[in-house]
């Protein structure tokens, strides 16, 4: 069994209009949401073998803050292909994961996260910032993951945890 968690980055700040989109940091609300999601993961005793994140500042900060709050230190990679990725590109990234990594967290952006959830499970859900989803795959290698082959387990929004 393989498990893929999808996490959309937390709310970013628009205070500095001179920053490029890639360089926007998290807002205070986004930082609090990361803490909330991290504590949720810790309370549920969820751990990851591998975390693959977009290197955009807001995604990087989301990843680091969630893992800190969850008290987790999994293998961590930043993959520039995730930033502004299409569903096809995200599926390519997932299909290239090593099979030794059974539980993986993918941290990225919308519309990619929401569209990947739909592609993998057939489940269409609203996907606000800092939303996390669990998708299970039975008897599949990562290279076999694809169209509606995953089982939608749950989706949690930070507002539901507050």
Q: Which domains does the chain have, with CATH numbers?
A: 2-161 (3.40.50.1240)
User: CB-based burial of residue 157 (10 Å sphere; 0-12 exposed, 13-18 middle, 19+ buried)?
Assistant: buried
Alpha helices (H) along 71-157: 87-95, 112-121
* Percent of the chain residues past pLDDT 90, beyond the cut: 93
Residue-wise pLDDT for 106-144, tens only, equals 999 999 999 999 999 999 999 999 999 999 999 889 999
Vertex 87, ends 81 and 92: CA angle to 5°?
A: 55
Count other Cβ atoms within 10 Å, centred on residue 80: 11
Whether residue 55 is predicted with pLDDT greater than 90 in this model: the reply is yes
């Amino acid at each position: 069994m393989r498990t893929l968690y999808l996490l959309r980055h937390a709310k970013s700040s628009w205070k500095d209009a001179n920053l490029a989109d890639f360089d926007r940091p998290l807002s205070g609300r986004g930082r609090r949401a990361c803490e909330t999601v991290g504590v949720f993961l810790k309370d549920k005793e969820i751990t990851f073998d591998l975390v693959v994140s977009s290197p955009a500042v807001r995604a990087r900060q989301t990843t680091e803050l969630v893992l800190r709050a969850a008290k987790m230190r999994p293998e961590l990679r930043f993959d520039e292909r995730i930033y502004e990725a299409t569903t096809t590109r995200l599926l390519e990234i997932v299909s290239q994961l090593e099979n030794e990594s059974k539980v993986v967290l993918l941290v990225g952006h919308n519309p990619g996260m929401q569209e990947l959830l739909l592609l993998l499970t057939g489940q269409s859900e609203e996907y606000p910032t800092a939303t996390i989803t669990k998708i299970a795959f039975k008897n599949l290698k990562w290279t076999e993951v694809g169209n509606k082959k995953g089982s939608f387990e749950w989706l949690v929004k930070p507002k539901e945890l507050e």
